[in-house]
Amino acid sequence: MIRGFIFDLDGVLVDTPNLHFAAWRKVARSLGFDLNESQYEELKGLNREASLIQILDWGNTKLSSQEFNDLMVQKNEWYLEMTATMISDDALPGVHEFLKAAKDLKLKIGLGSASQNARKILDQVKMTNYFDVIIDGTQTTKSKPDPQVFELGTKKLNLRPSSIVVFEDSKAGIKAAIDGGFKSVGIGDRKTLNAASMVYKGLYATSPLKVIEQFNFKS
Ligand code: BG6
Ligand code: MG
């Protein structure tokens, strides 16, 4: 029995993955190398620190902890500049409708995001009020693919992982959902997210009822 939905933010509710990536590319270029499309997929879902560790590894670059922290701050400044003008209309297609329909079904609704900017972005796109619980990068110590972010949300919702569907656009997030015992729906490319139980191009392409029916049919 499905009782709750937990949504990732970046790439599921808002179209920000390309902005995170653009800011990380600026970081990489400032260090003398570049990032490519397949690295873009690998970075999705990782928190800020884990992302920079991965990027430095790709660039074969070592930094002092001061330089590391300064670059994380710099990346975030670039990211915030890029998202400063985001408003309600910048939600991905069908998201407001999907969240409203989930509320109408009396499902519990959580956010499980690695981003420390999650609350700010949710406020900008006027989505905060849909959520019964918001877990973001300010409350977690482990990056996806660790399931911690979803487990914290689940505890606060007082539900079991098996009664929750996680919606994710990243490979790391789908792995986190599966490892935590959650049901998983991929949002994006079917090939990239093939570990998920089902994949849709966007929330516009389905509805809460359809997702629940599909899981009931599977079990
Ligand atoms: C995730 C994104 O949601 O949040 C990552 O997929 C990003 O690309 C991560 O690095 C951390 O975000 P922030 O806003 O805390 O730097
Ligand atoms: Mg994401």
Q: What are the pLDDT tens digits along the chain (219 aa)? A: 999 999 999 999 999 999 999 999 999 999 999 999 999 999 999 999 999 999 999 999 999 999 999 999 999 999 999 999 999 888 999 999 999 999 999 999 999 999 999 999 999 999 999 999 999 999 999 999 999 999 999 999 999 999 999 999 999 999 999 999 999 999 999 999 999 999 999 999 999 999 999 998 876
The angle formed by the CA atoms of residues 170, 143 and 51, to the nearest 5 degrees, is 75
Give me the helix-helix angle, 171-179 and 148-157, nearest 10°.
50
Q: How far is the CA of 160 from the centre of ligand 1 (A)?
A: 26
What confidence score (pLDDT) does residue 217 get? 84
Determine the distance separating the centroid of ligand 1 and the alpha carbon of 117, expressed in angstroms: 8
Are residues 124 and 86 in contact, defined by beta-carbon separation less than 8 angstroms?
yes
User: What does pTM read for this prediction?
Assistant: 0.97
- Among 51, 124, 171, the mutation site with the greatest number of ligand 1 atoms within 8 A of its Cβ is 51
Give the per-residue pLDDT at 89: 86
